[in-house]
Amino acid sequence: MSDQLDAPAQIGRMAAAAATFASLREAIRAGEPWPIKMAAGDGPEANWGPTEVLAHTAEMLQFWLGEIERVLAGGPDPVPFGRIATDQLRILTIERDRTLPGAELISRIHSSVARYADRLPELSAADWQKRGLHPRQGEMTIEAILERFVVSHIDDHAVQLRQALAH
C-alpha cells in the first residue's frame, strides 16, 4: 500500500454506500415494522433483515472510528483495539437499535460518514501507518483497519440491505 491513503476515495466509497441506504429509505419505511430476524447472540449477518443491517451499520461506523482514534493516540507499539462478532456490547446494541425507525438509523449512518469525512483528511502519512493489534486479525495499520472494518464493511452492508429488501 502507499505511504498515504487516498482519503477522498475512501470517503467517496463510504458516502456512496450511505447514499444507497438513503435511496432505500422509502422501501424501509413501507415495510416497518420489520420482523426481527436476529436470534439472541451473534447470529450470522447473512440472515439479518433490514432493521438488523441498519442497526449494525449505524453502530459499527461509530465503533470503528473510536477504535481508529484509540490506535492513533497510542504509543509506538501496536495498540490493542477492536472486537470480535461475539462481543456482548455489539450484540446488545444491535438488539436495542433494531427497534428504531429506519429513518433514524439512516440518519446516524450519514452522521458517522460525515465524521469520517471530517477526520480522515487530517491524518498525516505517519498516522496512516500507525499500528493496532486486533484480537483475530493481528497487527494492522490505520489504513488496513479503515479498509477492512469500515469501507469494505459499509459497502457489503449496503448490498446486503438491498438484497434484504428484495425478498
pLDDT tens, position by position, 91-110: 999 999 999 999 999 999 99
Q: What is the pTM of this model?
A: 0.92
Residue 3's pLDDT is: 44
Q: What's the whole-number mean pLDDT along residues 6-26?
A: 95
How far are the Cα atoms of 62, 90, 91, 113, 135 from residue 35, in angstroms, in the given order?
Answer: 25, 20, 17, 27, 33
Residue 35's pLDDT is: 87
Is 60 exceeded by the pLDDT of residue 163?
A: yes
Confidence of residue 1 (pLDDT cuts 50, 70, 90): very low
- Give the chain's domains with CATH numbers: 7-166 (1.20.120.450)
Of the ranges 36-40, 43-47, 58-62, 139-143, which one carries the lowest mean pLDDT score? 36-40
Confidence of residue 4 (pLDDT cuts 50, 70, 90): low
